[in-house]
Chain A
């Protein structure tokens, strides 16, 4: 037996200890592997991740920096307790700033920025700046409040103080139908102005309904395909894979044509005397759900099918031979083994449904849009980048949380297409 004491370490031909040499080889291998991935990694970061991060920055960027217009006021408000109306010093500073703003023609900027949070204040600020020119000497407090009572409100001053930062939580809060009150604490916006929460709830609800529909429709098909001999199942698989490979626009067009008031589905309904009036399918929630279910069905079905293919039929046979009824054997022995496939398929479908844009835009109702459509409207029609980015950021956060759950449960490399 050879004693393996410290001086007898194994060395390679060039005298380097073997362990060290192996580590070196391993490191160079890893470096080469990283080198192969690096081009794509850099590409994805530059062309995909960076654009999204810059977009997210818009969500917290204060678009109008009024701390440059009201420097003295901001300074004076630093010591403000936020409870009472600020003291004479703050009003004197405001008077000086407004005079300067009137000269520089920057008062409108202040009005615009404050108007984001206090509607209707814009014209009051502009008018006050004009009047401020005539203010000769103090005391300013009563004089300014006399110009417009809005300056005697705590909320106005709290909003000005909050605007003293290049960042704002305004858009993100607005996207959740929240706002800050004069005490700087969060509150829900009044119900009549609350719109976004409804859209988020609607998006999740549609995604849930579509996922459930694809599961109910996909499970029996996957079950039959997994049990049939390969030559039949391959043939039937074409019915699943052909729609999967067909352009999304083609399928949406087809549904657009089918769902018309005088389309084929309504003709069938009339023919079968199910309804005398055409059923409203196009531009409705029902139409969106039908078209989305059709598009997502293969995504739910295929993972379930591939899990079912691996389940040994002898398990159910064993259960039956031990006296289990057909339904009991299926439910207690077969079904639990399909759960990983159901989780993989449903989770992927749910994640993809959250981001739907084209189908709701073309088939859905105008007042029944999903979050993605709201983002598009904010960009295309309202030109409100902050709002679009805040809505997009919340949608992205929800998607990424679900994606990490998917990653933990299924693993991204198990994602299968076709």
Chain B
């Protein structure tokens, strides 16, 4: 956005003011992340600057303390299971919903997406009542089930968006050459929509990995996850180990963001959209 030569003085002033304002807002967005990371290396259990010295003791605690290692282990088990189930269910549903003239598409789509907008406390309380009755509370499968319901909408949205740019004549060409639908799905459709499917899967993983309210209601301390451990850490007795956990989760977010961004570019290249 270069400034045109005919710009007047107020326009020039606004041009720079706009940039300064945007810089301040971007700083606001990134500041909490930048502030919490160095604190994890603080040698003293304080949450303020300047730091008296550097140490890795909070990382050591994170990787050796049972409370944190069990939480990390549970989080990974749950999130990986959720990713597998929700990616499979969500991709199948997105394939069906993308077929032309799907009956009652709007209604079904809004039901499938609703777990995103329904306040999570309501989902959590409903699941607490219902899962107690069928004996699913205080168990890992119960948490996986609940998280899958909350995570699948992201897969449906992402894969449906990818399929909207998919050229349906390719599967018709495969069919006319004698390929059966399953074969042409694995040989033609899946490779082309794979970036979208993986992005959807990563969204599902992050959704489960980050979810805390449902876990608070339907899980016992045995099934505590990383977010639940952080929640009780802040609520009860804040230990600086939480900053080490936060830093590791931020690095994880960076990895996720990079992967999704690379996948998006690959998907655009595959579909021939290049800006």
Which A residues are within 8 Å of any B CB, using their own CB?
Answer: 26, 29-30, 32-41, 43-44, 47-55, 58, 217, 220-221, 223-224, 227-228, 230, 236, 238-243, 245-258, 260, 262-264, 267, 294, 297-298, 326, 351-352, 354-355, 357-358, 361-362, 371-372, 375-376, 379, 385, 388-389, 392, 395-396, 399-400, 403-404, 406-407, 412-413, 415-418
User: Smallest distance from the beta carbon of A407 to chain B beta carbons, Å?
Assistant: 5
Sampled A-B contacts (16; CB under 8 Å): A36-B95, A36-B99, A52-B122, A220-B25, A245-B253, A247-B246, A258-B32, A260-B48, A264-B35, A326-B11, A357-B121, A358-B231, A361-B235, A396-B119, A407-B106, A418-B260
Which residues of B have CB within 8 Å of A251? 32-33
User: Smallest distance from the beta carbon of B44 to chain A beta carbons, Å?
Assistant: 14
Which B residues are within 8 Å of any A CB, using their own CB?
Answer: 1, 8, 11, 14, 18-19, 21-22, 25-26, 28-33, 35-36, 39, 47-49, 89-90, 92-93, 95-97, 99, 101-103, 106, 108-123, 125-131, 133, 145-146, 148-150, 152, 154, 156-158, 160-161, 203, 206, 209-210, 212-213, 217, 226-227, 230-231, 234-235, 238, 242-243, 245-246, 249-250, 253-254, 256-257, 260-261, 264, 275
User: Smallest distance from the beta carbon of B226 to chain A beta carbons, Å?
Assistant: 8
Closest A residue to B250 using CB positions: A246
Structural contact, A258 and B35, CB atoms closer than 8 A: yes
How far is A237 from B152 in the complex, measured between Cα atoms in Å? Answer: 26
Structural contact, B101 and A54, CB atoms closer than 8 A: no
Known: A40-B89, A48-B115. Contact between A34 and B103, CB under 8 A?
Answer: yes
How far is A262 from B46 in the complex, measured between Cα atoms in Å? Answer: 10
How far is A326 from B18 in the complex, measured between Cα atoms in Å? Answer: 14
Contact of B249 among A53, A250, A298, A396 (CB under 8 A): A250
Which residues of B have CB within 8 Å of A264? 35, 48-49
Which residues of A have CB within 8 Å of B203? 417
Structural contact, A37 and B29, CB atoms closer than 8 A: no
Structural contact, A33 and B102, CB atoms closer than 8 A: yes
How far is A403 from B122 in the complex, measured between Cα atoms in Å? Answer: 15
Which residues of A have CB within 8 Å of B112? 37, 40-41, 44
Given A34-B96, A385-B129; 14 other pairs, CB 8 A cutoff: A30-B103, A39-B89, A43-B89, A47-B127, A221-B22, A242-B253, A246-B250, A249-B210, A249-B246, A264-B49, A267-B48, A412-B110, A412-B157, A417-B158
How far is A298 from B49 in the complex, measured between Cα atoms in Å? Answer: 28
How far is A86 from B242 in the complex, measured between Cα atoms in Å? Answer: 66
Which residues of B have CB within 8 Å of A252? 234
Residue of A49, A250, A357 with most partner-chain B CB within 10 A: A250
User: Smallest distance from the beta carbon of A322 to chain B beta carbons, Å?
Assistant: 15
Residue of A33, A326, A399 with most partner-chain B CB within 10 A: A33
Which residues of A have CB within 8 Å of B257? 238, 241-242, 245, 418
Closest A residue to B49 using CB positions: A264
Closest B residue to A313 using CB positions: B1
User: Smallest distance from the beta carbon of A397 to chain B beta carbons, Å?
Assistant: 11
Residue of A243, A246, A404 with most partner-chain B CB within 10 A: A246
Closest A residue to B34 using CB positions: A254
Structural contact, B48 and A242, CB atoms closer than 8 A: no
Closest A residue to B200 using CB positions: A417
Structural contact, B36 and A37, CB atoms closer than 8 A: no
Contact of B149 among A44, A362, A372 (CB under 8 A): A44
How far is A372 from B148 in the complex, measured between Cα atoms in Å? Answer: 22
How far is A300 from B97 in the complex, measured between Cα atoms in Å? Answer: 27
How far is A41 from B103 in the complex, measured between Cα atoms in Å? Answer: 14
Structural contact, A254 and B246, CB atoms closer than 8 A: yes
Which residues of A have CB within 8 Å of B156? 40
Contact of A392 among B97, B121, B213 (CB under 8 A): B121
Structural contact, A357 and B213, CB atoms closer than 8 A: yes
Which residues of A have CB within 8 Å of B227? 247-249
